[in-house]
C-alpha cells in the first residue's frame, strides 16, 4: 500500500566508512595525522607575523591562541588522538613545514553526512594554493573515497572570510541557527553550508581546474578565480 504522505526520496542506507588516520599527498601539500610532533613547526608558523595579526587567526576558533609552545604541543597531542574530529596537519611542499590543520568531523556514517571543519591556517598558509588543495583533499576523500552524501561547512555567522571560503569552494548556504553555541563566553550564531553528492562532480571539477598548474603564471598567481572556474 502506498502512503499518501511524501517522506522524501529513498536513498542508499548503507553506512559510510569512517575516515582513517592516513597521510594524503597532493600536488602542493601533504596532510599528515596531527600529533605532538607537529607542535614546534606549527608554533613557528603561528609566530610568522606580528602578534596582533597572528592572534586574529584564532578569533572564531573554539581554542587558541596558545600562550606557549608546550601548551600547543599538549593540544596537538590530545586533538590528534580523537576519533571525531579526525585532525590532519598541513605540510605545504613549498616550505616542507607544517603550517596549519583541518579536520573531518561531526561524522555520521548512517546518515552519510560529514563536515569539513576546525580549519586553522597559519599566516604563511593563508591565501595559497596549498591551503585550497588541503581542503579539497579532504572534500574529495569524504565524497569520492568514502561515498558520503552530504558534506557540511559551518562557521560563526560573523566570520565573513569563512563564509566567502565556503562560497568559493561551491558550498550552498542553508541558513543560520541563532544562539547555536557559546564560544569563549560569547553567543555564536552558526551559518550552515553544504555540498550534496549530486552537486559534487561539478564542484570537484571546478576546483581541480583551478588547482591545475596551467592556471598559475610564473609568479604563482592564479589566472582565473575559483569562483569563475565554477
Cell of 12: 542508499
Task: Collect contacts of 44-48 with beta carbons under 8 A, ≥24 apart.
Answer: 44/97, 45/97, 45/98, 45/99, 45/100, 45/122, 45/123, 45/124, 45/125, 46/72, 46/122, 46/123, 48/122, 48/123, 48/124
Q: What is the mean pLDDT of the chain?
A: 94
Q: Give the other-Cβ count within 10 Å of 156's Cβ.
A: 21
Q: What is the pLDDT of residue 56?
A: 73
Pairwise CA distance, residues 45 & 41, whole Å: 6
- Name the band, by pLDDT with cuts 50, 70 and 90, for residue 71: very high
Sheet strand arrangement including 186-196: 24-25, 29-33, 86-92, 100-108, 113-121, 150-156, 186-196, 172-183
Quote the pTM value. Answer: 0.95
Q: What is the pLDDT of residue 191?
A: 98
pLDDT digits (tens, 9 = 90+) for 160-178: 999 999 999 999 999 999 9
Q: What is the pLDDT of residue 2?
A: 59
Pairwise CA distance, residues 112 & 13, whole Å: 8
Spatial CA neighbour of 139 closest among 66, 195, 87: 195
Pairwise CA distance, residues 226 & 222, whole Å: 9
Pairwise CA distance, residues 90 & 111, whole Å: 28
What phi and psi values does residue 49 have, to the nearest 5 degrees?
-130, -175
Least confident of 47-51, 66-70, 220-224: 47-51
pLDDT greater than 90 at residue 107: yes
pLDDT digits (tens, 9 = 90+) for 186-202: 999 999 999 999 999 99
- Name the band, by pLDDT with cuts 50, 70 and 90, for residue 12: very high
Pairwise CA distance, residues 72 & 38, whole Å: 9
C-alpha to C-alpha distances, 98 to 62, 78, 86, 105, 138, nearest whole angstrom: 21, 17, 17, 21, 17
Cell of 36: 605532538
Average confidence (pLDDT) over 38-50? 89
Q: What is the pLDDT of residue 57?
A: 87
Amino acid at each position: 500500500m502506498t502512503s499518501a504522505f511524501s517522506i522524501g526520496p529513498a536513498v542508499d542506507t548503507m553506512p559510510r566508512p569512517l575516515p582513517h588516520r592516513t597521510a594524503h599527498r597532493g600536488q602542493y601539500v601533504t596532510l599528515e595525522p596531527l600529533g605532538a610532533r607537529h607542535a614546534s613547526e606549527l608554533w613557528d608558523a603561528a609566530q610568522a607575523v606580528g602578534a596582533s595579526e597572528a592572534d586574529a587567526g584564532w578569533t572564531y576558533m573554539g581554542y587558541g591562541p596558545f600562550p606557549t609552545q608546550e601548551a600547543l604541543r599538549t593540544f596537538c597531542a590530545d586533538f590528534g588522538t580523537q576519533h571525531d574530529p579526525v585532525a590532519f596537519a598541513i605540510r605545504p611542499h613549498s616550505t616542507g613545514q607544517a603550517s596549519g590543520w583541518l579536520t573531518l568531523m561531526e561524522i555520521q556514517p548512517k546518515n552519510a553526512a560529514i563536515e569539513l571543519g576546525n580549519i586553522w591556517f597559519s599566516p604563511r598558509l593563508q591565501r595559497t594554493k596549498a591551503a585550497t588543495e588541503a581542503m579539497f583533499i579532504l572534500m574529495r576523500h569524504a565524497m569520492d573515497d568514502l561515498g558520503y552524501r552530504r558534506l557540511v561547512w559551518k562557521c560563526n555567522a560573523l566570520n565573513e572570510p569563512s563564509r566567502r571560503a565556503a562560497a568559493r569552494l561551491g558550498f550552498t548556504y542553508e541558513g543560520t541557527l541563532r544562539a547555536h553555541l557559546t564560544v569563549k563566553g560569547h553567543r555564536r550564531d552558526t551559518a550552515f553550508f553544504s555540498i550534496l553528492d549530486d552537486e559534487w562532480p561539478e564542484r570537484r571539477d571546478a576546483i581541480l581546474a583551478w588547482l591545475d598548474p596551467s592556471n598559475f603564471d610564473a609568479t604563482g598567481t592564479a589566472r582565473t578565480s575559483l569562483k569563475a572556474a565554477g
